[in-house]
Structures are given as structure tokens and as C-alpha cells.
Chains A and B, each alone.
Chain A
Amino acid sequence: MKIMVAIKRVVDYAVKIRVKPDKTGVETQNVKMSMNPFCEIALEEALRIKEAKLASEVVAVSMGPSQCMDTLRTGLAMGADRGIHVEFNETLYPLSVAKILRSLVEVEKPGLLILGKQAIDDDCNQTGQMIAGLLNWPQGTFASKVILDKEKQVATVDREVDDGIETLSLNLPAVITTDLRLNQPRYATLPNIMKAKSKPIKKFTPQELNVEIRSDLEVLQVTEPPKRKAGILVSSVDELIDKLKNEANVI
């Protein structure tokens, strides 16, 4: 069985982002970019499944401008066998990403698709669910534990839900999206980074995959959130209780 993992290049999670003065978006020039943290977890899980001899190959897919190749190389250095880059230079919304993935699934025929639960830039949390819907595959979102049964072709998934943990059993092929606690992603070692340079990355355009990119969303503006008014430091518990009681009226 082949596993396909979708990875996204995003502004590094530790960067304090800046909104562009013309309100068209967020500054991404000269800002450190990395693989979306949830995608690292997705890739790690795929690699662990392969290492447990439950999968034969891990294919990493990324979509976007040419710099996504760097993200794919990182994925290959972590251990993915090969990469696919779908080049597109404008904004891709989750629906388009899901449609491109559907076409790639038709080409590659993976038995499992793993994605992160959300990208930390647009915070959408949609792509995994949408591709599962398009393929009519079952979905295991927000996974904190995945157990594959190769004989029965079933994945048992623990999901992080609002009030605890829910366990589902999914027939393969299926889509799984990863939550933070699924695993601890590995670091790419230097020899593996060198090896990754010779691993193949196939290139496609959406046209070649017969996907028409049309968008039904338009970003009108991006602004900074309202600033909170400056707070004060209190010097004692008594003063704190007094302020909460008499100034803020919350206790």
C-alpha cells in the first residue's frame, strides 16, 4: 500500500507576522518559511507506518510556487520516498487543493491519505474533510492515534473531540488528518538531507491534472486585530482581588 501525504509551505510558526500596510495580506517576503507543523506530524505518521512494514511507499505532495520544492526536499529528507509538486502561483483555497489531490489520487492510487488537521496560516481546517468527501472515502480527522490492520484493511483512529477522545474504525482507503499529539516528528539528519537531493520530484500543473482552478472567495482586506488597552501590574494578591472586585466587576 502506498501512502500519500500532503504538505504545505507556511510562514514559520515562531514568526510574529506583520500585516501589509496596504491591507492586501500578510508580509511573506523575507520571512522564514517552513513546513506546516501539522504536515510534519502527518509525514512522520506515514513514515512510521512504512517502517512498521504496513506500507510500501510514502509520496509527499505539495502545491504552490516553486519554493514549495524546498518544503518537499525537507519531506524527502525526513524519509518520504518521492515528491510531487503541483506548481501554481496564486492563492489556492482548500476546495482547489482537494480537487488537485483527487486527480493525484487517481494517478497514484494510494491506500491512505494523511494530511495535517489545519494549516497555521489560513487556519481553515477543511482540506482533509473536502478530499474525503470528493473521493467518498471515510475520514478520521484530528487523529491522536492510528492503528492499521493490514489484513482487514481497516484503520482504527482515536480522534480529539471537544469533550474527550472518540474512536472510529475506517475501511481503507481513507483520509486521516493529524492532531498535535499523534507523534513527535523526527529531524532530518545531514546524510538524509544529502540523500534527499537525489530523490525524484515529479512536477505537474493543475491543467495537466485537468483541474480548473476557480475561486468562489475573494479577500477584501486583511487587518490587524484590535489592540487591547495596556494593562497594569499589581503588587499583591489583595490589590488584585480589589481590582477584580471593584474596577473590573468580574468577581
Chain B
Amino acid sequence: MATRMILGAIRKRAVLLSASHFLSLSSVSTSRYVSTLVIAEHEGGAVKAPSISAVAAAKSLSDDASISVLLAGSGPSLHEAASHAASCHPSISQVLVADSDKFKNPLAEPWAKLVHLAQQSGGYSHIIAASNSFGKNVVPRAAALLDVSPITDVIGISESHTFVRPIYAGNALSTVRYTGANPCILTIRPTSFPVSQKTVDSKPSQASISQVDLSTFDEDLGKSRYISHTSQDSERPDLGNARVVVTGGRALKSAENFKMLEKLANKLGAAVGATRAAVDAGFVPNDLQVGQTGKIVAPELYMAFGVSGAIQHLAGMRDSKVIVAVNKDGDAPIFQVADYGLVGDLFEVIPELLEKLPEKK
């Protein structure tokens, strides 16, 4: 009995081995030709920055990859965005435009169907989007329609089918290989694929723009409807792309005191972030939350005021270049990741910083 089990196990293993051998062979043949579809968002006639990071990620899959960008929406701003897409990155070879009222709002249902349609006609080896609220909403749904496993929040690409992604709130890094059929679908963390201004400026080749044939697009759109969107307009830079971020925690004590932090942000040309505690206490809206379940940022300078440094918060900012922590409690975990720590009362430190910091250029 025992022998039979062992034999069975060996046989099973042998089958698995030959299967993986076969797969590795086939992945070699596909890695020669990498054709990628980038699902892009646009706003005000331009491709959004996280989508351009997705193009940069597509580029790092393979040097001679062909990259198509998929844009959808309706009206003149879509076509402006399409011409921006055609020249926003030298690696883009084609821009696909889906022009229909069905894509006026970023609903997952029509978008997932659109990606499915584009894959059927394009036969891409990879589909990539930015890992933001849009990408996370649409991409897994599209992957399910295509019957493949997507890979979320990729921070590194080592081969065309091997990726690194954080797990357990960034406390471990997992290297995963995709062994399934085409397409290999990923969402990438934009901060891990920065787009250098040099790339963008280097005489971009004008990519061709073509319309997606929507004649077979039969999505029943009655099931979900877009009602409204509310946001707080801010003069400050976008949290996800800011060069400097100043963040406040519960220790700021009130929404009123957060204004002090906003002043500091204005002086530094920074975006304002917050911990979950500060958001839950109602000091600031939820879209300012930095952490495992909020926004992931990696600015050049991250200044944390009255932030203890819980695991879930560190997950959102540990890749910042320089971290400054100001906290009354010298034992706060935030000091373990800070490059510069100042043990002190933020109500004294912030006004002093406001007074002594040089004006931004």
C-alpha cells in the first residue's frame, strides 16, 4: 500500500515535471514575441500618469515588445487623449480607441467586456494596467472572462512571465511565475515603474491610432448605472505622484489642526496624506489614506507627524526615498523606518518648520 502511494506520488511528480518542462518550452517561444495591451485611463484629453507607468512596465517585459494602448470613452476629450497617447511614450506602437457612450463612465462591466473583445482580436501575450482603483476594479473581472489568473500590484518584472509582488502588507515579497495560457494579465504599482522625463521627451515616434470595432460589443448595460462622483478639489499635487508627502496621524487631534499640516504641505509643494486613524476620526476624507488598503506612495520625501507606524501604514510608504518621523513617543515603530527622526511635540515642531523652511522654488 505504502509503496503504491509512493510510486503514485513519483508518477504524479513525473507528469508535473514534464508538464512544467513543456510549459517552460512554450514560454520560451512566446517570450520571443511579446505583444502587450495597456489598459489606459485618460482625463482632460491626456493619458493619466499611472497608465504611462503601465507602458513603462510593458516596455520592461521585453525590449522589442509591441505595445498597444487601449483608450475608451466618448467625445472630443477621448480623441485628444488618443493623440496624446500616440506620442506620450516612444515605445507605444498602436493606440486603440473605443468610442461609445457605454464607456463614458469607468464602469467595470462594459470595460471588462471591452478588454475581452480586444484580446479576441489582438491575441496579446500580456495585458497590463495600473494598480489603482480603476485597474483593480476592471482587470480581475476581465481576467475571469478570459479564464486566467491576474497578478496584482507587480513591483518588479524579472522575465516575461516572472514577477515580484508584495504580500502581507509588504512584509514579504513573492516571486511568481505565470504558467497559464495567454494573456498574462497584471496590474503594476505605478511608483515601481517611474517614467523619466527623458523618455517622454526623446523624440517620440507617432503611433498609429485605430478605432476598435464595436459591432460585436453586446454588453447588456442595464445592470449597473453610474450615479455620481464626489471629490474634493485640491490645489496640491496628487498624492500618488507627489514628490513630497506630509502625513498626519491621530495625534493631530482634529480636522482644524490638520490645516497646519496643509500649510506645511503648501510650503513644500507637497501632497497631504493621513493614517487610517486620522481618516476614521473624520479629520480628512478617506482618499488621503496611505497604507495597505489606501494609497501606496513612494515620494522622495515622506514626513510623518504623529504617526505611530502600524504595519498597515508602513505598507503604503516604506518605499519612500527619505522618511522623516516626528513623534512624541521615542519608541514608536515609525522610528525604525525613518531616516531622520525627531522626538518632540508636533504642535511645536510644525510651526517651527513653517517658520524656518526655505520657500519652495
A residues with a Cβ closer than 8 A to B are 11, 13-14, 16-17, 19, 26, 38, 93-95, 98, 117-118, 120-134, 137-142, 144, 156, 159-171, 174, 179-181, 215-225, 228-229, 231-238, 240-241, 243-245, 248, 250-251
Q: How many residues of B contact A (CB 8 A)?
A: 90
A130 contacts B292, CB within 8 Å? no
17 pairs, CB–CB < 8 Å, chain A vs chain B: A13-B311, A26-B168, A128-B140, A130-B144, A134-B144, A139-B141, A164-B287, A167-B230, A168-B107, A181-B286, A218-B20, A222-B173, A224-B171, A225-B171, A225-B318, A232-B340, A250-B322
Could you tell me the distance between the alpha carbons of A72 and B337 in the complex, rounded to whole angstroms? 37
B149 contacts A216, CB within 8 Å? yes
B153 contacts A165, CB within 8 Å? no
B118 CB to nearest A CB, Å: 15
Inter-chain contacts of A180 with B (CB < 8 A): 276, 293
Inter-chain contacts of A171 with B (CB < 8 A): 222-224
Could you tell me the distance between the alpha carbons of A52 and B55 in the complex, rounded to whole angstroms? 47
A31 CB to nearest B CB, Å: 11
A132 contacts B148, CB within 8 Å? no
7 additional A-B pairs beyond A120-B168, A123-B165, A168-B226, beta carbons within 8 Å, are A124-B152, A141-B137, A160-B286, A168-B224, A218-B179, A238-B356, A251-B244
Closest A residue to B174 by beta carbon equals A222
A241 contacts B227, CB within 8 Å? no
B342 contacts A98, CB within 8 Å? no
Question: Mask for B124-137, Cβ within 8 A of A = 1, else 0?
Answer: 00000000111011
**Is B142 engaged at the interface, CB distance under 8 Å to the other chain?**
yes
**Is B177 engaged at the interface, CB distance under 8 Å to the other chain?**
yes
Closest A residue to B299 by beta carbon equals A250
B215-233 interface (Cβ within 8 A of A): 222-232
**Is B260 engaged at the interface, CB distance under 8 Å to the other chain?**
no
Could you tell me the distance between the alpha carbons of A216 and B343 in the complex, rounded to whole angstroms? 49
A156 contacts B227, CB within 8 Å? yes
Inter-chain contacts of A241 with B (CB < 8 A): 353, 356-357
**Is B280 engaged at the interface, CB distance under 8 Å to the other chain?**
yes
Closest B residue to A144 by beta carbon equals B286
With A126-B152, A168-B225, A234-B340 as contacts: A16 and B171 at CB distance below 8 Å: yes
